[in-house]
Amino acid sequence: DTAVSQTPKYLVTQMGNDKSIKCEQNLGHDTMYWYKQDSKKFLKIMFSYNNKELIINETVPNRFSPKSPDKAHLNLHINSLELGDSAVYFCASSQGAAVGLFFGEGSRLTVL
Amino acid sequence: GESVGLHLPTLSVQEGDNSIINCAYSNSASDYFIWYKQESGKGPQFIIDIRSNMDKRQGQRVTVLLNKTVKHLSLQIAATQPGDSAVYFCAENTGAGGTSYGKLTFGQGTILTVHP
């Protein structure tokens, strides 16, 4: 069983489109995250939810809107996609703060 | 060898050698540190962690050393194997509470290549 699963794994789309990436974790964790990894492999946190409540919102354009329907799911919706949004997006989860994160396999987004 | 600038630092070793990967962290208030391994096309995978009240922690073939005085973290891999080839990241957490709740800040990453 995959602990943190993301779909889709690959996403190719045109500029201006709207797309979503879904994430589910079956670890029973209470905290979920979205990280963005750029072409230089730099990993940067975007959002964090604890028990469905937004607790971290880094300086991310408001075209990005996370949504957590329950503590096992955290989805990421992106409006009006731009070229610079091309990256690998990783979902992660943890039980509480100041502990290790478990990452999904990533969703590679390519904006043409 | 190593490269700087726009490229990730690299470390090339022979199979069986010991590897040491270094990391400088930025926040003196960070109280928890983790090393992650990321293989090509996969997500970061937890290797080992250490809290700031310790200066050394050992796992299976891996050891993490923490020097809070100079804000330096290292990962030692014993008897490195080709399967250890990956990008290695250190991450720091400034602890629970406030805006630092559960927020891991990742370092630049180091590419480890192990030659058979």
Q: Is the pLDDT of residue A105 over 60?
A: yes
pLDDT tens digits, residue range B69-114? Answer: 999 999 999 999 999 999 999 999 875 444 445 578 899 899 999 9
For the stretch B26-67, pLDDT in tens is 888 888 999 999 999 999 999 999 999 999 999 999 999 999
Of B32, B45, B103, the CB nearest to A48: B103
Q: What are residue B84's phi and psi, to 5 degrees?
A: -85, -10
Tell me what the mean pLDDT of segment A38-57 comes to.
89
Determine the average pLDDT of the residues in A17-25.
Answer: 97
- Pick from A31, A96, A100: CB nearest B46: A100
pLDDT class of A1 with cuts at 50, 70, 90 = low
Per the listing, tokens 């080709």 go with B82
pLDDT over 70 at B115, yes or no: yes
Asked whether the bond before A8 is cis by omega within 30 degrees of 0, the reply is yes
Q: Residue B93: closest CA among chain A residues belongs to which residue?
A: A98
Q: Which of B34, B101, B106 lies nearest to residue A97, judging by beta carbons?
A: B101
Q: How many CB pairs under 8 A join A and B?
A: 71
| Rounded-to-integer distance, Cα A14 and Cα A86, Å | 11
Which residues in chain B have their CB less than 8 angstroms from residue A41's CB?
8, 38, 87, 108-109
Sign of CA dihedral B24, B27, B29, B35: negative
pLDDT score for B96: 47
- B95 and A99 in contact by Cβ < 8 A? no
CA dist., res. A12 & res. A103, Å (int): 22
Dist. CA A41–CA A37, nearest whole Å? 6
pLDDT at B4 over 70: no
Question: What pLDDT, on a 0 to 100 scale, did the predictor assign at position B113?
Answer: 96
CA–CA distance, A39 with A57 (Å, rounded to integer): 22
